[in-house]
Structure 1
Amino acid sequence: MAVYSMTGYASAQLEALVNEERQNAPHRQLGLEIRSVNSRFLDLSFRLAEELRAQEPMLRALLTAKLKRGKVEVRAFFAETGDSGSLPDPSPQVLQRLCSIQDTVKAWLPDAAPLSVSDVLRLSLAGSAPAADWSEQLKKLAQGALKDLTTAREREGERLAATLLDRVSQLRALAKQAGPLVPQLVEQQRQRFMERWKEAMGLAEGSVAPEMAQDRALTEATAFAIRIDVAEELTRLDSHLDEIEHLLKKGGEVGKRLDFLIQELHREANTLGSKSAAMELTKISVDMKVLIEQMREQVQNIE
């Protein structure tokens, strides 16, 4: 199963006659656009032409069956495509009725703008033509646009998955560098404690038992080794990276799970930095957190 992004765009158009019984009747273009961006949940909004408002439940059912997360905006509209020469002549009765309505409006609202020629043509056409049933055409358009949107989201999801896998590989390389550093630091610190013990023994001139001083030095070295041991953090980090790779290969609705794992990665990188006793480990921790933050930005767009 593929990984899907929550970002995508698709559109579709369909030509249809306003009045199929009239050979020279103007055409209208039914258009539909779907835009999608990231969101924690599925958030649908609709901007539909007046004749299409009744189709919102149908559109909502189509979208919820295919999409699980994202802020999705659906816009459906009409556009005239016929030329003015093909427009029907308004009947005198319709023109008289529009004039009467305009006079009534002017009597109550003197500042209202007068009807333009385009207003008259639109209103006369709307009044003379029966209301068309666009449900089948709109459903067909929505299905096609939704298919294109899913394809776009899948294509973007593939890119996001490839980017995340690349960051996973870089994190593994950094963890591999961090692993051998801890034993080296422990050994270096043990040598420093032993040197301090020898210096202390020289200054004490026999007033302190050698066994006691040596035990104290070894105890401090052991405590230091425990304090800077990051084996558990590296093990958990490797486990989280394994799970991320598994989810990306599995696909489907993995965005929320990935977001949780990114938080866990950040926690382990922070702990690694807090336990750091050398610049090398500190630099590795910082580099890890940069990569993890880049992953977080990508994961925010995954469904």
Structure 2
Amino acid sequence: MTGFARADGGNDKAQWVVEVRSVNGKGRDMRCRLPPGLDGLEPVVRTAVEARLARGNINVTISLTRTDAAGTLRINRELLDQVLGLAREIAGPDAPPPSIDTLLSVRGIIDSTEPRETEEDRQALEQAMAVTIALAIDRLVEARIGEGSHLSAVLLDHLGEIGRLTDAAAATSSLQPEALRAKLRAQIQALLDAVPPVGEDRLAQEAALLITKADVREELDRLRAHISQARTMLRDGGSVGRRLDFLCQEFNREANTLCSKSADVELTRIGMDLKAVIEQFREQVQNIE
């Protein structure tokens, strides 16, 4: 299921932003981009994602800006004294000292020192960022729930259309009892009139095959059962994406069997329409957790 969420946080030493994106996926796959030096956050992110999200390709990006990263400057007095001594030795004791610009251009005269982070500081930072990570994931879950409500209505519409087509298939003239009996009588009579004559065992086998192929009531009953099961899943909620995936395979199997058994143009057309709606249903199921 697709979604995006963002949360930010900060303390007296840093500001950070957590962005979480999710796209459709059969399973759960997580990728995480962390600021340098904060690799210890990955288990925190993974645990938070696995606790709330069961399906989808999840990307978590965390950016960090340190507010205490300016550091301080200091004069390397030992090196400065050496430079001034060399200047007097070269120019003579009465020569004026080098200018400030000249001294500052000598590498090492001015040192910059970065603030040092203790282990306690790093742990405190990661704990504060973990709160923001959890907040971003909560917001993503809320966004996905909103999308899920819309998708549930779409899926119910598809199930309604599958049910309508199933009823239309059952009502076709070719599946009415008298039509089935007339068709079977004609086919069996053709076997009896065959030259050379068909043996009794072969006749029984062919008749059983014809009866089985002409009767699609079992497939229609299973389609209705699958519709009921899918509606129950959507009503109960929870992580039903994988179970609906499996149910889509069952829908397709019954629709394919219906088409393969059909010897009637109208029934074949209905079977093809069924397959088209089932495919639309399957595509939307990919968005469900």
The answer on 1:41 being equivalent to 2:27 is yes
**Pairing 1:205-216 to 2, within 5 Å after superposition:** none
Deviation at 1:76, TM superposition (A): 1.0
CA–CA distance in structure 2, aligned partners of residues 237 and 80 of structure 1: 60
Task: For 2:74, give the aligned amino acid.
Answer: S
**SS of 2:117's equivalent?**
coil
Q: Give SS of 1:40's match.
A: coil
**Residues 1:153 and 2:144 aligned together:** yes
Partners of 1:137 and 1:252 lie apart in 2 by: 30
Unaligned runs of 5+ in 2: 80-110, 190-205
1:227 Cα offset (Å): 2.6
Distance 1:61 1:192, change over 3 A: closer
Q: Which residue identity lines up with residue 61 of structure 1 in the other structure?
A: T
Per the alignment, residue 190 of structure 1 pairs with 182
TM-score (norm 2): 0.71
Q: 1:259 to 1:191 in 2, by over 3 A?
A: closer
Render the CA deviation track for 1:156-209: whole Å, top value 9, x for unaligned: 211221111100000111111111213348528828977xx8xxxxxxxxxxxx
1:90 equivalent in structure 2: 73
Number of equivalences: 236
SS in 2 for 1:160: helix
231-240 or 156-165, which moves further after superposition? 156-165
2:9 maps to 1:17: no
Q: Which residue of 1 aligns with 2:168?
A: 177
Q: Alignment partner of 1:51: what SS?
A: coil
Q: In the aligned structure 2, how far is the partner of 1:191 from the partner of 1:53?
A: 73
Task: Find out whether 1:128 has 2:111 as its counterpart.
Answer: no
Deviation at 1:39, TM superposition (A): 2.5
Secondary structure, aligned partner of 1:32: strand
Contact between 1:272 and 1:285, CA under 8 Å: does it hold in 2?
yes
Q: Secondary structure at the match of 1:277?
A: coil
Pairwise CA distance, 1:87: 5.8
Opposite residue 171 of structure 2, the aligned amino acid is: P
- AA matched with 1:90: L
**Which whole-Å CA distance do the structure 2 matches of 1:36 and 1:90 have between them?**
45
Is structure 2 residue 233 aligned with structure 1 residue 250?
Answer: no
Shift of 1:54: 1.6
Report the Cα offset of residue 258 of structure 1.
0.7
Distance 2:209 2:117 in 1: 88
User: 1: distance between equivalents of 2:180 and 2:43?
Assistant: 70
Residue 221 of structure 2 aligns to which amino acid in structure 1? T
Q: 1:274 to 1:244 in 2, by over 3 A?
A: same
Equivalent AA in structure 2 for residue 10 of structure 1: A
- Which is higher, the Rg of structure 1 or of structure 2? 2
Match of 1:113 in 2: none
What is the CA–CA distance in structure 1 between the aligned matches of 2:168 and 2:219, rounded to whole Å?
14
2:171 partner SS? helix
Deviation of the 1:36 alpha carbon:
1.4
Q: Distance in 2 between matches of 1:135 and 1:234?
A: 57
The structure 1 segments of at least 4 consecutive aligned residues displaced by more than 4 Å after TM superposition are 86-89, 191-194, 220-226
1:231-285 Cα distance to aligned partner (Å, 9 max, x none): 1110000001110001111111211111111000001001111111222111111
State the SS of the aligned residue for 1:35.
strand
Equivalent pair of 2:12/2:67 in contact (CA under 8 Å): no
- Alignment RMSD, CA only? 3.2
Partner of 1:144: 135
Q: Which stretch shifts more, 155-164 or 261-270?
A: 155-164
2:42: which partner in 1?
56
User: Deviation string for 1:38-85 (max 9, x for gaps)?
Assistant: 223322221100132222222222222222222211111113689xxx
Change in CA separation of 1:223 and 1:55 when aligned onto 2, cut-off 3 Å: closer
Q: 2:54 maps to which residue?
A: 68
Question: What TM-score do you get using the length of structure 1 for normalisation?
Answer: 0.68
How has the CA–CA distance of structure 1 residues 191 and 44 changed in structure 2, closer, same or farther, with 3 Å as cutoff?
Answer: closer
